[in-house]
C-alpha cells in the first residue's frame, strides 16, 4: 500500500499516520496488467490514484482517434480528476499501464472533507495536494512550450533540453519509449525517427535505447 511508497502526496506524513489515513479514507489497492486501462476520467469516479508499482501513461484519444500521451507516471506518481485541467467534451482521457502496475485509490471526497479530529497529517496531505496541482500546471506549461515549436527537430531539442535541466546532466534516460515520445510531442513516429537519425548524424544528440545525450546545444 502507500506506506511503502515515496510519493509527494504524503510528504511530511509518517508511516504510522499514513496507515491510519488508509483506513480513515477508505483506500483500496488494485493491480493491472500491461496495456490495461486502470482509470478512465470520464467514468464518473472521482478518485485520486497513487502508483505503487510499475508505470503508466495518461493518454488522450481525440474524436478522430488520434492518441496523445499527456503524462508519464512512475512509482509514487499521483493522478486523478482533481489534478486534471479542462478537456474537450469529445476527448477520452485514460490512464493506461505501460508495465504491470498496482495503484492505491483514494476517494477524493474523503481526502478533501473536513477532518473531524483536526489531524495535522490530514492538513499536510491537503496542502500537498494543492502543491501537486501547482506542479501539474508547471508540467502543462512545459508541454505547451514543446508543442509550440514548429518543426519536429525544434520539438525534440526543446524536450531534450527540459529533460536534461531536470536531471542536471546532458545525459538522461527517457521516461518512455521513442514510439511513445512521438505521441507525446504529437508527431508522426516515422517522421520523428527520420529527424532523430539526422540529428544523430549531425552529432547533435546520441541515442542508445532510452539514453539520450545532448552533444551540441544550438
Check residue 112 and give its pLDDT.
75
Check residue 186 and give its pLDDT.
87
Check residue 68 and give its pLDDT.
82
The Cβ-side half-sphere exposure at 171, using a 13 Å CA radius, reads 5
Check residue 116 and give its pLDDT.
67
Q: Give the percent of the chain with pLDDT over 90.
A: 43
Check residue 71 and give its pLDDT.
86
Higher pLDDT, 197 or 183: 197
Residue range 44-63, pLDDT digits in tens: 888 999 999 999 999 888 77
Q: What are phi and psi of 30, to 5 degrees?
A: -135, 145
The answer to whether 78 and 9 have CB atoms below 8 angstroms apart is yes
- CA Rg value for the chain: 19
CA 22 from chain center: how many Å?
23
Cα 183 to Cα 83: distance, rounded to the nearest angstrom: 21
Angle at 70 between CA 30 and CA 205, to 5 degrees: 115
- Does 202 have pLDDT greater than 90? yes
Higher pLDDT, 98 or 119: 98
Q: Give the percent of the chain with pLDDT over 70.
A: 90
Report how far apart, in Å, the C-alpha atoms of 190 and of each of 128, 176, 194, 195 are.
Answer: 40, 17, 6, 9
- Does 1 have pLDDT greater than 80? no
Residue range 7-34, pLDDT digits in tens: 988 888 888 888 888 888 889 999 999 9
pTM exceeds 0.85 for this model: no
- Does 115 have pLDDT greater than 70? no
In order, the DSSP letters of the chain are -GGGS--GGGTT--HHHHHHHHHHHT-EEEEE-TT-EEEETTSS--EEEEEEES-EEEEEE-TT--EEEEEEE-TT-EEEGGGPPP--TT-EEEEEESS-EEEEEEEHHHHHSPPTT--HHHHHHHHHHHHHHHHHHHHHHHHHHHHTSSSHHHHHHHHHHHHHHHHTSSEEE-SS-HHHHHHHTT--HHHHHHHHHHHHHTTSEEEETTEEEE----
Mean residue pLDDT of the chain comes to: 86
Domains parsed from the chain with CATH numbers: 2-142 (2.60.120.10), 149-214 (1.10.10.10)
Residue range 123-174, pLDDT digits in tens: 888 888 888 888 888 887 888 889 899 999 999 999 999 999 988 999 999 9
Amino acid at each position: 500500500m502507500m506506506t511503502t511508497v515515496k510519493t509527494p502526496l504524503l510528504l511530511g506524513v509518517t508511516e504510522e499516520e499514513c496507515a491510519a489515513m488508509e483506513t480513515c479514507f477508505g483506500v483500496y489497492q488494485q493491480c493491472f496488467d500491461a496495456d490495461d486501462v486502470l482509470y478512465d476520467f470520464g467514468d464518473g469516479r472521482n478518485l485520486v490514484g497513487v502508483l505503487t508499482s510499475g508505470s503508466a501513461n495518461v493518454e488522450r484519444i481525440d474524436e478522430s482517434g488520434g492518441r496523445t500521451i499527456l503524462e508519464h507516471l512512475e512509482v509514487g506518481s499521483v493522478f486523478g480528476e482533481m489534478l486534471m485541467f479542462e478537456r474537450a467534451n469529445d476527448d477520452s482521457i485514460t490512464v493506461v499501464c505501460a508495465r504491470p502496475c498496482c495503484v492505491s485509490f483514494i476517494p477524493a471526497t474523503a481526502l478533501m472533507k473536513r477532518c473531524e479530529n483536526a489531524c495535522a497529517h490530514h492538513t499536510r496531505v491537503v496542502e500537498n495536494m494543492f502543491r501537486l496541482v501547482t506542479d501539474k500546471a508547471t508540467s502543462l506549461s512545459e508541454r505547451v512550450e514543446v508543442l509550440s515549436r514548429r518543426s519536429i527537430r525544434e520539438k525534440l531539442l526543446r524536450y531534450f533540453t527540459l529533460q536534461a535541466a531536470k536531471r542536471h546532466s546532458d545525459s538522461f534516460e527517457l521516461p518512455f519509449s521513442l514510439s511513445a515520445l512521438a505521441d507525446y510531442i504529437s508527431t508522426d513516429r516515422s517522421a520523428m525517427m527520420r529527424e532523430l537519425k539526422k540529428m544523430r548524424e549531425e552529432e547533435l544528440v546520441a541515442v542508445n535505447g532510452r539514453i539520450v545525450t545532448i552533444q551540441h546545444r544550438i
